[in-house]
A = this chain, B = another copy of it.
Amino acid sequence: MRHPLATSTFHKLRDEIENGIVTGTLPPGSRLDEVQLASRFGVSRTPIREALMQLGAIGLVEIRPRRGAVVVNPGPNRIYEMFEVMAELEGMAGSLAARRYTEEDRAKLLAAHAECERSVKSGDTDAYYYDNEIFHRAIYEASHSGFLLDQCTALHRRLRPYRRLQLRVLNRMKVSFGEHTRIVEAILAGEAEAARELLRGHIAVQGDRFGDLIASLTSNGQKLL
């Protein structure tokens, strides 16, 4: 076999499989057969295994010795815990952003917010889902903490499938956008603690919203539970 761009073969495989997991093509609990994946991607088992090892290390797949790899299936409780931590990290990012944002950060944040508004007005849930990610990333970047950016990005990615479900809940998009507006105001006003609390509340899955999330999960044909 030719190796035209050999350096990134296993890297590509990792992204490919990871993408399949977060998009739902490989639902939680799926068995990840090495030979099957190998033939599917036209490579040998070696780079497949290396990709699975990486995904195992970041907690996306569970590698049971001698028993193969499966897509991790976090229960409702663990999903809740993940959102809890995400809320805290987002709050931290917002707090730092309020104190450290530059003119460039401000422009990016406002631009992302404007994009979200467009998607809300057109009622495009998928577009809002995408714009929402850019908006939050703008906050992470405005925190000017590279490590926090990495952590938030990674966790945000892992929560992708559940966040997508959340948006389907009635009116969630409009409510979310309203919260964004207040968050932007707090950050640009330099009100660190206000930004922290607003973002914590924005992410946290509290009361009814957690029930809604669980309902979405179970009504989706057990695919995610």
Chain A positions within 8 Å of B, measured between CB atoms, are 6-8, 10-11, 46, 49-50, 53-59, 65-66, 77-78, 81-82, 84-85, 88-89, 92, 145-148, 150-151
Contacts of A85 in B (CB 8 A): 89, 92, 145, 147-148, 151
Are B145 and A81 neighbours in the complex by a CB distance under 8 Å? yes
When chains A and B are docked, how far (Å) is the Cα of A50 from the Cα of B89? 30
Which chain B residues border A10 with CB–CB below 8 Å? 53
Beta-carbon contact of A84 and B145 below 8 Å: yes
- Nearest residue (CB) in B for A145 is B81
Q: Is the CB of B84 within 8 A of A88?
A: no
- Minimum CB–CB distance from A100 to chain B (whole Å) comes to 12
Inter-chain contacts of A81 with B (CB < 8 A): 145-148
Residue in chain B with minimal CB distance to A67 = B7
Task: Give the chain B neighbours of A151 by CB distance below 8 A.
Answer: 85
- Give every chain B residue within 8 A of A59 (Cβ-Cβ): 150
**Shortest CB–CB separation between residue A158 and chain B, in angstroms?**
10
Which residues of B have CB within 8 Å of A57? Answer: 53-58
Most B CB contacts (10 A, CB to CB) among A8, A49, A59, A88 go to A88
Q: Quote the shortest CB–CB distance from A199 to chain B (angstroms).
A: 13
Closest 10 CB pairs of A and B: A7-B65, A57-B57, A81-B147, A54-B57, A53-B53, A81-B145, A7-B66, A50-B53, A88-B92, A57-B58
Q: Report the separation of the CA atoms of residues A77 and B146 in the bound assembly, to the nearest whole angstrom.
A: 9
Measured CB to CB, the nearest residue on chain B to A88 is B92
Candidates B7, B54, B89, B150; contact of A88 at CB < 8 Å: B89
A97 to B145, CA, bound (A): 27
- Report yes or no: A11 in contact with B53, Cβ–Cβ below 8 A: no
Given contacts A81-B148, A84-B145, 20 further A-B contacts (CB under 8 A): A8-B65, A50-B50, A50-B53, A53-B54, A53-B57, A54-B54, A54-B56, A54-B57, A55-B57, A57-B58, A58-B58, A59-B150, A78-B146, A78-B147, A81-B147, A82-B147, A84-B148, A85-B151, A88-B89, A88-B92
